[in-house]
Structure 1
Amino acid sequence: MPNSAEQKTGIVSAPSRDLAALPAPVAAIRLKILEACAKGELEALRIPIDWNETRPLFQRSGGKRPPGYDPIETLRALSFDRKGLETLNVAKAALSQAYSKIERGPVTIYEWPAFAAPPTTPEAERAFWSCVRFYDYARPIANGGPRVTRLGFGADGVWHYFWSEG
């Protein structure tokens, strides 16, 4: 039986790069997002966004969405360049890293990226910082670290979120 800390944060697996271990729906949505990123046009993300019955959250304090809400315009507004290129680059960078499997009761989330420890090589440090939006460089989390942008998918392939931590 999980303790109270595990119930709050979930049971988090060690980071993994084993894409063959992913449930097929998770692998499929990850691939669709990477294909959209490769096109270099933010509008291409509309396909994986619309795969969901409900749209993924792009901000932790997203609140109620207004009528006519367009997720592509939201992502464009969150992108430093206002075109969405930063958004595509961060998504691609995050999905190129290891992932973690997070279990909270009956819910399982696959989350990218999974950085288990601070980077120790120049290559690992570049990979780490490639998952931070420009805006978030100036907004460190409580421990002083950067707000890494994360993507989370349910085991059924539902895209739940694409947001900065913290």
Structure 2
Amino acid sequence: MTGLLVRRAAPTDFAAVARLTVAAYEADGQLKGEHGYGAVLADVAVRTEHGEVLVAVDETGGDVLGAVTFVLPGSRYAELCGPGEAEFRMLAVDPAAQGRGAGEALVRACVARATELGCSAVVICVRGGFAPAAQRLYERLGFVRTPERDWSPLAGVELLGLRLDLTRA
């Protein structure tokens, strides 16, 4: 993870974030029959109005390598988080930059932000059968499956709930 900086996205980053997010979801096959979700992923300006969009940037070249949206309960993009919890959504790493630690750096930044805000947990959902590398990362970082939080926004799209307890030392 050396050579990476995680910071809030600036308006000048929005085009790169939109491009890499859609590219990452397409590369994983998650936008087949997606019913407009690509447009949601690409609308970075709206995401910043309802959460914190963080970017992982290559410190030497300044390229945006990945992005994630961090949200709290009651925000437009919150799907699973309840009182005292935080959530992150739309984690994506440019397919050309995968394997450089950007995804892990973004997850760790979300966990740090949740801790800073006094949250008791971070929750996320992942699409069943997709992005196995991301699912291995979440497991390695301590996220645990919470089947009671599984849900389906559309027929054929099964989302699995995961939770990281921040109260454990």
Asked which structure has the greater CA Rg, the reply is 1
TM-score scaled by structure 1?
Answer: 0.33
Q: Specify which structure has the higher proportion of strand.
A: 2
Identify the structure with bigger relative contact order (alpha carbons < 8 Å, sequence gap 6+). Answer: 1
Q: Specify which structure has the higher proportion of helix.
A: 1
TM-score scaled by structure 2?
Answer: 0.33
